[in-house]
Amino acid sequence: MQVKEQLLQLKPYQPGKPIEEVKKEFNLTKVVKLASNENPFGCSPKVKQAILDELEQLAIYPDGYAALLRTKVANHVGVNENEIIFGNGTDEVIQIICRALLNPQSNTVMATPTFPQYKHNAVIEGAEIREVPLVNGDHDLDSMLVQIDENTKIVWICTPNNPVGTYVKKQALLDFLTKVPKHVLVIVDEAYYEYVTAEDYPQTVPLLKDNSNLMILRTFSKAYGLAALRIGYGLGNVELINKIEPAREPFNTNRVAQAAAIAALGDVQFVEECQIKNKQGLQQFYDFCEELKLNYYTSEGNFILIDFNRDSDELFQALLKRGYIVRSGNALGVPNHLRITIGTEQQNAEIIQILKDFIL
């Protein structure tokens, strides 16, 4: 069977090892997964009740337009209801955008390293990928501008950037938007938006009014703790949303996920508490890095990237045998690093002690 030639150069997405597999492989009773930037505090109790209430409706197709959730999100972020597109996680929104805009005659610009699904989907569509290395962990926006030409369709900005945790500052983004040609769509991926506390982080939603070529991505998978239900959304100009909507599959967000997301938006206190605990957890790792003189990036996400100056796969395996699943930098384009999701205070303390025992 003949498939697209570009698929032959791709590998399926490799998620972190599942907890059950690690327990079986190493004969462990306790395994902690800090590999996929999930919320260690779960989700709001209001979400759990909303899910239970929805279980009687499983035989009924979900609302393909997600009308109730659409109203809730529009009010929450401050946009019109027709300026939103929902996806089976932001992964699907990325796929929809690439399917709608990219082809073999086009190119797309992104940082490296960054979230791999931008490149993955661009390859599938046969587009040229133009990657611009980070500079000291930050997006090199000036060099990204140089890469833009008449065939550029999309520029991707992940902020906070996965896997690094750094962010694009307000003035830098404003300057960038004024210089990008209007035929180029600028995607600002804010999957970790709810964790951000930096004062100069840009509030991007008001920018939509004067930038018809801007689109913002957000998700319920991270701070809201709904990763298993797969629901995210994009915000953009109504004309753009209408043009890409035909590339969205019908009923792509299920009714349980929609109900859960509505409930999650109704519990602001839960998200605020998670943000506070996340910052406290990040400080545990900062103190550890300072003590051992390890290089790291300060993070506005719920993860940290640390340079251990040694084979990251070796460290990954050492932690795995002790029941801690993290992400090896070799899989992320940053050898000698580990990306570690911020866990509970106890989980952070335990993994830090394991790393100290191994390194010292």
Q: Give this prediction's pTM.
A: 0.95
The whole-angstrom separation of Cα 217 and Cα 289 is: 31
CATH topology of domain 14-43+269-359: Aspartate Aminotransferase, domain 1 (3.90.1150)
Sorting pLDDT into bands at 50, 70 and 90, what band is 155? very high
Share of the chain above pLDDT 90, in %: 91
Task: Please give the Cα distance from 227 to 222 (Å, whole number).
Answer: 7
- Classified as helix, coil or strand, 23 is helix
Tell me: the pLDDT tens digits for 276-316? 999 999 999 999 999 999 999 999 999 999 999 999 999 99
In contact, 83 and 57? CB cutoff 8 Å: no
- Does residue 16 surpass a pLDDT of 80? no
pLDDT class for 69, splitting at 50, 70, 90? very high
Provide the residue ranges of all domains of the chain, joining segments of one domain with +: 14-43+269-359, 47-266
> Within a 10 A sphere around the Cβ of 317, how many other Cβ atoms?
12
- Is residue 127 within 8 Å of 101, Cβ to Cβ? no
**343-to-218, 274, 321 alpha-carbon distances in Å:** 21, 11, 18
Q: 14-43+269-359 and 47-266 share one CATH topology?
A: no
Instruction: Decide: helix, strand or coil at residue 182.
Output: coil
Q: Which CATH number fits domain 47-266: 3.40.50.150, 3.40.50.80, 3.40.50.20, 3.40.640.10?
A: 3.40.640.10
- Please identify which residue in the block is written with the tokens 């319920």: 220
Give the confidence band of 176 by pLDDT, cuts at 50, 70, 90: very high
